[in-house]
């Protein structure tokens, strides 16, 4: 009877897993379209960024890479039925995600008030920095919500199938936003001059 319930739970979760992959694919295409738009703009107009990226971006990159490690450790703990470790690493991932968000907003502050690069300016290629990082921050907020859902489930006595599914969805999405940020940051570095 218990095995039948677990099989039923797995079947009910399959469409949700598929939806997550569809969302990741469309998000990837969205960011590819943004970077393609940037390439077309600078190619046609001859505008480059002509600024150095704020140091806060490198710090935020290190933070999000570290958060991927803590997310991996949380998933591993969940699979090993080590729920205290799972919660600890989920909290670490969540806090690192919040720190990433803070560092990104600080980078906007540096861009705007210390470097004089505003969202609306004659060199629209510089506006792409805000668009890239802003759209990525929306994805970070979504990832933080998924982590919170996983955390709440880890504190409740949810079935292990559901716990592992939540961890899988959170992990997939979090690693995706990590990879997207690295892609965007390297792209901006290569086009800063």
Q: The pTM is what?
A: 0.88
Whole-number pLDDT of residue 69? 98
pLDDT of residue 107: 95
Q: What is the 3-state secondary structure (H, E, C) of 112-174?
A: HHHCCCCCCCCCHHHHHHHHHHHHHHHHHHHHHHHHHHHHHHHHCCCCHHHHHHHHHHHHHHH
For a pLDDT cut of 70, what percent of the chain falls above it? Answer: 92
Per-residue confidence (pLDDT) for residue 61, from 0 to 100: 97
Asked if the model's pLDDT at residue 28 lies above 70, the reply is: yes
Residue 67 · residue 97 · CB < 8 Å: yes
State how far the Cα of 56 lies from the Cα of 105, in Å rounded to an integer.
Answer: 9
Spatial separation of the C-alpha atoms in residues 151 and 94, rounded to whole Å? 9
Q: Look at the chain and count its residues.
A: 193
Rounded-to-integer distance, Cα 128 and Cα 39, Å: 11
Model confidence band, residue 44 (pLDDT cutoffs 50, 70, 90): low
pLDDT of residue 1: 43
CATH of the domain at 31: 1.20.120.80
| Full residue range of the structural domain in which residue 174 is found | 2-190
Number of domains in the chain: 1
Residue-wise pLDDT tens digits, 90-143 = 999 999 999 999 999 999 999 899 887 888 877 777 888 899 999 999 999 999
Find where tokens 């969202």 sit. 119
Residue with tokens 């510089």: 126
Report pLDDT for 2: 46
Q: Are 127 and 117 in contact (CB under 8 A)?
A: no
Q: What percent of the chain has pLDDT over 90?
A: 59
């Amino acid at each position: 009877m218990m095995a039948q319930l677990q099989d039923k739970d797995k079947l009910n979760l399959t469409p949700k897993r598929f939806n997550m992959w569809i969302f990741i694919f469309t998000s990837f295409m969205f960011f590819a379209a943004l970077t393609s738009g940037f390439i077309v703009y600078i190619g046609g107009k001859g505008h480059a960024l002509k600024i150095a990226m704020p140091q806060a971006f490198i710090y935020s990159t290190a933070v999000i890479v570290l958060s991927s490690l803590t997310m991996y450790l949380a998933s591993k703990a969940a699979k090993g039925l080590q729920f205290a470790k799972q919660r600890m690493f989920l909290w670490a991932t969540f806090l690192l995600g919040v720190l990433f968000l803070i560092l990104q907003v600080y980078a906007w502050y540096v861009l705007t008030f210390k470097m004089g690069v505003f969202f609306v300016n004659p060199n629209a290629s510089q506006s792409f920095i805000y668009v890239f990082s802003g759209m990525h921050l929306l994805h970070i907020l979504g990832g933080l919500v998924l982590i919170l859902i996983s955390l709440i489930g880890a504190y409740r006595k949810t079935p292990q199938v559901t716990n592992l599914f939540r961890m899988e969805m959170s992990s997939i999405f979090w690693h995706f936003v990590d990879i997207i940020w690295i892609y965007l940051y390297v792209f901006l570095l290569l086009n800063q001059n």
